[in-house]
Structure formats: structure tokens, C-alpha cells
Amino acid sequence: MERSTSRQSRKKVVAVVGGGLVGALNACFFAKRGFDVELFESREDIRRAKIVKGRSINLALSHRGRQALKHIGLEEKIVAQGIPMHARMIHSLNGKQSPIPYGRKGQYILSVDRANLNKELLTAAETYPNTKMNFDHKLQDWNAETGLMTFARLDGSKEQVKADLIVGCDGAFSAVRKQFLRRSRFDYSQTYIPHGYMELTMLPINGEFAMKPNYLHIWPRNTFMMIALPNLDKTFTCTLFMPFEDFEKITTGDEVIEFFQKYFPDTIPLIGADTLQRDYFRLPAQAMVSVKCNPYHIGDACVLMGDAAHAVVPFYGQGMNAGFEDCIVFDEIMDQFNEDFSAVLPEYTRVRVPDDHAIADLAMYNYIEMRAHVNSKWFLFRKYVDNI
């Protein structure tokens, strides 16, 4: 079935592919400008779903991201639902805890719930009468010349939709980006790091946080590390980053406890030995990929933002924040060039690619710094680890 998205309005139709964090935010930016916005998301509506799968349970929201939320009037609400983290709390092997502030007094980053933030952004996008949400629409293919997109539905049916501008916000494994790969002079690289990550939950103890809540807790252990961010329900989400081969060496519950006893002894009474033994095997460790590409646009027809343009490893805590900043930068260029896509898109590539590539490099550098030097060179740690 082919349907036209034209609604007889003076504004063009913008199709935002991907209703994750960056796509939902971007829909608000375009809707605010008065475009007819169609958002297409492969998953069902997460506001109605029983289980919401995402790349992490919570994440750190910093200045960049807040500025973008401010632009659509959502900053205060999201900040009120976040937990300020004023410092990193470093856990030594002997149990000693040492705080390292993120900045001057009063400065902090926020731990926010990913699913909740995504839901709030979708609801914000939906409040614009010129936005239409299309869940259960998985982009399969699209044509750069005609702007015609083909979506697959869960029931096996296909739908074809045309738009004036396609905004690819469909994440690190972007289907929109596939079309770019078929074109000449498109630079693309992707790197999987040898580490994977696994999330473990630390429940409240006697109704209170098991550790001090206003910190991003870190257990640096040279070749691997664990971090923990607080949640509003007084749990902590602990994320263990470790080479896949080390994850695979641990095959029994007893080996899990032995490993934690050796490297994270202070966490065993906090997480609980039984919980650890169970949760370690609940899901396999997840991979982390870094993606760089250039340009971010095709003519005046399509542009990539967020992880679709630049997936970064999470060690700088800036993936989402940089994706949110993409939206602001694009919006500013829209003002400069009077919403003329043929001028805006190349300028966006020109301005944004170097900055996003710099974030990707910093994130990768930080990953190396943290595993190689963190325990021996604290000054390097303090200097480079801005957000984690």
C-alpha cells in the first residue's frame, strides 16, 4: 500500500525514522517549526508495552542534553525526575571510597531513567497537532531520488510512504544509513571494542539506597570496571564492563561469587550473593560499537542524527547528549538558511561531523585511559573522565 503524507499544508513533510531518544526529541523540534511530522518506530509504543528493551536502564544527562530539552520546554520536568550526581565515587579494592567532583560546587550531571525519558519525549512530540506517530513501522528500504520509504509491519504487511525530508534517527544499526553506504564518497567505519557490558541491579536496603545516592560509583580495575548509577526507586543499576573472553570464563554461580569476592568485595553484601549468582546469567553481555561516517546527508532528501550518525562507546557518557545536541545545531542552521534543506543539510554535515567525531574519539580514548591507567595515574583520570 502506498500512501501520501501530504496534508495540503504549506509546510513540507518530515519523516523521522526511529522513535528512540533522539528521534522523539527531533520530532518535537520539527513540529515546533510547523512541519508536518511523521515519526516511524519499529517497536510498539513503549508507553503501552509491558517490557521496554533499551541499550541501558539509566543514563547520565549533562549540559548538552539539557539545553536541547530546554528548547522544547521539557528540561525542568526531566531534571525533577533525575538524580543529581555531584561526583564520581571511586571504590578501591580495600573498600575505601574517594569522591572526585565533576566540577565546581553545585555542578552535577543527572542520572535519568532511559525508558521514562523516551516516554516523556514521545508524549511531548504527540502534543503537537502536526505530528503523527507510526509505531510498529520498521523501515526496510528507501529511495534517495524519490523519498519513498518502505515499512514492514508486524502482521507482515508493507506500507510505502513519501516524505520531503527523511531524518534517520534509527540508532547504531540504522536502516536509513544503508542507502548512504551504496553511494560513492561516503566514508564509513565501525569498530566493536573487545569489552561487553552487563547490567545488575542493587536493591534498596531497609527501604533506602544501598550506597550514597548522589554519586556515580566506579570500581576501576585496570582491564575492566564496574559503575553504578542511582534510580528514583532507590535501586542502583550497576554496569560491569569487561572483555567478552573474561565474561565467558565465568560459567557457574560459584565462579561469579569468586570473581566478585576478588574484585568487587564491597558489592556482594549490597547486591546479595544469590541475586548476583542469578542475575549474572540472566542475559548475555552486550556488545559496544563505535560508528563514524561522513557526510551526514544526501542532497536535500535525508539527514542522519544521533547514533545513526555517530554511535560512540559509553565511557564518556555523551552518546545521547551529543545526539540531543545534533538537534539544536540542526535547528540553528535551519534559522540561518531559512529552512532551505538544500543549504541546511550540507552545512549541518560541515559543522557537525568534526564535533561528533571528536566525541567518538574522546569516548574511545577514555575507554583506553580507564582500563590502562586509571588506577595508577589519577591525574589522567581526573583530566579525561569528564562525565563518568
Shortest spacing between CB 18 and ligand FAD, in angstroms: 3
Question: Residue number with the shortest CB distance to ligand FAD?
Answer: 20
* Stretch 171-230 residues interacting with ligand FAD (CB under 6 A): 171, 175, 197
The length of the chain is 388
Question: How far apart are alpha carbons 386 and 102 in whole angstroms?
Answer: 7
Question: How far apart are alpha carbons 272 and 63 in whole angstroms?
Answer: 35
Applying CB under 6 A, among 13, 22, 69, 344 the residue interacting with ligand FAD is: 22
Applying CB under 6 A, among 14, 15, 17, 68 the residue interacting with ligand FAD is: 17
Residue 219 burial by CB count (10 A; 0-12/13-18/19+): exposed, middle or buried? buried
Question: How far apart are alpha carbons 321 and 341 in whole angstroms?
Answer: 24
Bridge partners, residue 163, by sequence:
none
- Angle CA(195)–CA(196)–CA(202) in degrees, nearest 5? 125
Applying CB under 6 A, among 11, 32, 71, 138 the residue interacting with ligand FAD is: 138
Applying CB under 6 A, among 319, 374, 384, 385 the residue interacting with ligand FAD is: 319
| Region from 68-76, 156-164, 262-270, 320-328 binding ligand FAD, contact rule CB under 6 A | 320-328
Q: Which is nearer to ligand FAD, 244 or 337 (CB)?
A: 244
Shortest spacing between CB 65 and ligand FAD, in angstroms: 6
Shortest spacing between CB 272 and ligand FAD, in angstroms: 22
* Stretch 139-168 residues interacting with ligand FAD (CB under 6 A): 139
Query: What are 153's three cell numbers?
Result: 509491519
Q: How many CA atoms lie within 13 A of 77 on its CB side?
A: 14
| Region from 1-9, 14-22, 157-165, 364-372 binding ligand FAD, contact rule CB under 6 A | 14-22
* Stretch 38-67 residues interacting with ligand FAD (CB under 6 A): 40-43, 55-56, 59-60
Q: Which is nearer to ligand FAD, 56 or 375 (CB)?
A: 56
Applying CB under 6 A, among 78, 320, 344, 385 the residue interacting with ligand FAD is: 320
By CB under 6 A, the count of residues binding ligand FAD is 34
Applying CB under 6 A, among 13, 14, 15, 18 the residue interacting with ligand FAD is: 18
Binding footprint of ligand FAD on the chain (CB under 6 A): 17-23, 40-43, 55-56, 59-60, 138-139, 169-171, 175, 197, 239, 288, 306-308, 314, 317-321, 323
